[in-house]
Structure 1
Amino acid sequence: MTPTSTTRAPVRAPEIDRPGLTWLNVPAPLSLSGLRGRLVILDFWTFCCINCIHILPTLKRIERAFPDEVVVIGVHSPKFAAEREVENLRHAIARYGIEHPVAHDPDFDL
């Protein structure tokens, strides 16, 4: 058998500015079209997940090392009832020193 090549049409990432999301750490919702030309890291996390918290210093180092090339966006996907409350999320963002944009996605739209 010989390998065959298949040509696929490029796949575009879906837009991240969706109804129902609450954005924190930014004055207005972000859009992928507004971030064109930059590497976008979507970090899906919850503030009750210890492994999610452990990765925050690494994300901060990446942001500081590549401020013009990379943008980190935290996508908070709450599992527990307390995590669904935006005010609790605000407290967690302050507690952990999260400076990058965060989209609160309680309905798992992203």
Structure 2
Amino acid sequence: MENRPNYKINRYIFLAIIILFAFMLLMSVMQFFTAFLAALMFYVLSKPVMEWLTKKSGWKKSNAAFLVMLISFFIILLPLFFMGTMLYKEAAMIAANPETIMQPFKKMDQSINNRF
């Protein structure tokens, strides 16, 4: 009967260690959570197109998957490409003439100094 309390203590310690490892595993996997949700979103959005191409149009699954991936690629990357070129042009303009950005801050600094 003397071993019974030790058995409970060992069981609770083991449970605490398992919970600690589960928490550490969850924290290490959290960085992939956003990517997992994005993949799930793309699956949900592309499933009707895949079904329509394979069942109604009679395409092979590989050809339909290639077309869906190609369309998704352009839908995602074209706006990112254009946004990147726009940001590059803006950054190049600011780097060429930084005074246009600094001038309003200098005016604000002068007005604050004049008031106080």
Question: TM-score category by the smaller chain?
Answer: under 0.3
Q: Flag the structure with higher strand content.
A: 1
Structure 2 length as normaliser, TM-score?
A: 0.17
Specify which structure has the bigger relative contact order, considering alpha-carbon pairs within 8 angstroms and separated by 6 or more residues: 1
Structure 1 length as normaliser, TM-score?
A: 0.18
